[in-house]
Amino acid sequence: MTPKEKTSALESDNGVIPKLSGDIRPLIPKLGLRNYWYPASKERSVIWRKPVKISLLGEEICLFRGATGNVVAIQDVCPHRGARLSQGHCHYPGTVACPYHGWVFDESGKNTMVLSEGPVSGVCGKPGTEAKIFPTRTLKGLVFVWIGDAEPAPIEDDVPEEFFDDALVLIGQVVWRCNWEVALENSMDSHVNYVHRNALVVARSGFIARGAQGEHPIFVGNGFAGDVGESNYLRKSPKYDVYPDGRRWPKTNYRRYWTWLFRPLAERARRHIPAPRTARWAGGHRLPGMFRTEFSWDLYTRMCVPIEENLTRVWYYHCLRPEGTFQRLWQRFLYGALHRWIIEYNFSRQDERVMLDQRYDSPEKLSGTDAEVIQWRRLVVTKHFGGRDAHYEYRNPDDIVPDQVPLGRVSVRYLQEKARAKS
Ligand code: FES
Ligand SMILES: [Fe+2]
């Protein structure tokens, strides 16, 4: 694709999907895909008396409580003269008042009072004075907002299955100073055994398999799952690799001793990881920006939400299925006291350190293990230009049909549980 073609493709708004060959990074939307549900805020951060401001996908949004306590998302620009509703007040239940001239908006966005002009105000409620409302839905204490101009799609298509049953979902968030796509691509390649070689969680569980075979993403649901045959849990590495000139990697064995010490604990912890219930929510990558994996203690999701071009809010959903109240409390405690730090800081900051200064505009020479990166970019560009229902030209191994992917093909935990039940 020539630079000129790239430019015209970028400007395309007629639903035409550009050619998906060569370097398509310039076609990826810098502020994410629109017409999807995104996590915006923890519900408990939105109090009754004061609105709060959030930014995502370049949108400035004000959150406040509706009449029944539901969280409402309204544009954070007053239709009158542009003041910020998030700096206003909630004088009456289910409303937010602009801090400037006191226009009061209800949860449908209608201007119902003008406090600075009184009940005789001629502008109050006039057509055209409404503020834009973004559809919201709160699940397990997390407020999801529909970002887009189309009618909202079913939220079950964009939010993992565990939000709709009795699973325990522990939610954390961090902010990374890089683009959302850079943040997401970080989780679809061979870096783990290298970047995270000294992460507590990796060292303790021996997740150090190396290997250069191609990783085949399997298109299923709204993204890709990983083939279990290539999982690090089913594949063993030699103690060290020897290169033709005799150099060894890893250079020392001390990680193996450490791993040996902690392996029984790590194996025990892995038993807590619930298998996904359906292949469409198995480990892998899902639109609009999720990475899911059966890792460490739980089935966890990293959801990358663009705030600005080079700022990304990363939400973590840790899914567990503990039995009984005590176990639920215990898992909550462990998360707060230990797991959160180990995964969201110790482990993930290692990723962030690499990504902060990573160039995304220099030429690339990709490896076989970058197969999912390539597929993912094609998927994102297809949906950006063609819309969320655009057909994606998938290429699955063994010609597996996306909605017939067996769970055993994409979930190690499913296979392990099945084997355990048999024995
Ligand atoms: S700018 Fe909001 S009421 Fe005037
Ligand atoms: Fe990583």
Using an 8 Å Cβ cutoff, are 167 and 281 in contact? no
Q: 200: CA distance to ligand 2 center in Å?
A: 13
Q: How confident is the model at residue 368 (pLDDT cuts 50, 70, 90)?
A: confident
285: Cβ contacts below 8 Å, ≥ 6 apart: 184, 187, 188, 217, 223, 224, 291, 292, 372, 376
Q: Which residue has the tokens 């059966």?
A: 294
The whole-number pLDDT of residue 378 equals 96
Our answer on whether the CB atom of 115 is closer than 6 Å to any ligand 1 atom is: no
Q: Over the stretch 322-342, which tens digit does the pLDDT of each residue have?
A: 999 999 999 999 999 999 999
Our answer on whether the CB atom of 80 is closer than 6 Å to any ligand 1 atom is: yes
Annotate 408-417 with b (16+ C-beta within 10 A) or e (fewer). ebbbbbbbbe
The whole-number pLDDT of residue 7 equals 40
Exposed, middle or buried: residue 59 (CB in 10 Å: 0-12, 13-18, 19+)?
buried
- Does the domain at 46-135 match CATH 2.102.10.10? Answer given as yes
Our answer on whether the CB atom of 343 is closer than 6 Å to any ligand 1 atom is: no
Separation of alpha carbons 300 and 169, rounded Å: 9
Q: Over the stretch 311-322, which tens digit does the pLDDT of each residue have?
A: 999 999 999 999
The torsion angle over the Cα atoms of residues 53, 55, 59 and 63, rounded to 10 degrees, is -30
pLDDT > 90? residue 12? no
Q: What are phi and psi of 137, to 5 degrees?
A: -150, 130
Q: How confident is the model at residue 10 (pLDDT cuts 50, 70, 90)?
A: very low
pLDDT > 60? residue 5? no
CA dist list (Å): 413 to 81, 232, 310, 418: 55, 12, 35, 8
Ligand 1 atom index nearest CA of 114: 3
233: Cβ contacts below 8 Å, ≥ 6 apart: 207, 412
Our answer on whether the CB atom of 390 is closer than 6 Å to any ligand 1 atom is: no
Our answer on whether the CB atom of 97 is closer than 6 Å to any ligand 1 atom is: no
Residue of minimum CA distance from atom 3 in ligand 1: 101
Q: 169: CA distance to ligand 2 center in Å?
A: 21
Give me the chain's average pLDDT, please: 90
Is 243 or 266 the better-scoring residue by pLDDT? Answer: 243
Q: What percent of the chain has pLDDT over 90?
A: 72
The whole-number pLDDT of residue 257 equals 79
Tell me the mean pLDDT in the region 172-200.
89
Residue of minimum CA distance from atom 1 in ligand 1: 81
The whole-number pLDDT of residue 214 equals 55
Q: How confident is the model at residue 270 (pLDDT cuts 50, 70, 90)?
A: confident
Name the residue ranges covered by the structural domains of the chain. 46-135, 155-422
Is 368 or 39 the better-scoring residue by pLDDT? Answer: 39
Q: Over the stretch 109-161, which tens digit does the pLDDT of each residue have?
A: 999 999 999 999 999 999 999 999 999 999 999 999 999 999 999 999 999 99
Using an 8 Å Cβ cutoff, are 243 and 249 in contact? yes
The DSSP output letter for 137 is: E
Ligand 1 atom index nearest CA of 116: 3
The DSSP output letter for 262 is: H
pLDDT > 90? residue 405? yes
Is 332 or 369 the better-scoring residue by pLDDT? Answer: 332
Among 143-147, 234-238, 390-394, where is mean pLDDT lowest? 234-238
Ligand 1 atom index nearest CA of 88: 2
DSSP notation for 10-36: HH--SSPPPP--S--GGGS-TT--SSE
DSSP alpha helix (H) spans, 88-209: 180-185, 192-195, 200-205
Q: What are phi and psi of 89, to 5 degrees?
A: -135, 160
CATH class entry, domain 155-422: alpha beta
Residue 36: name the closest of 106, 140, 137, 107 by CA: 137
Pick the ligand that lies closest to the CA of residue 87.
Answer: 1
Could you check whether 46-135 and 155-422 share the same CATH topology?
no
Q: What percent of the chain has pLDDT over 70?
A: 92
Tell me the mean pLDDT in the region 30-53.
97
Our answer on whether the CB atom of 354 is closer than 6 Å to any ligand 1 atom is: no
Is 210 or 238 the better-scoring residue by pLDDT? Answer: 238
The whole-number pLDDT of residue 254 equals 79
Tell me the mean pLDDT in the region 98-102.
98
Separation of alpha carbons 286 and 278, rounded Å: 13
Q: 85: CA distance to ligand 1 center in Å?
A: 8
This model of the complex carries an ipTM of 0.97
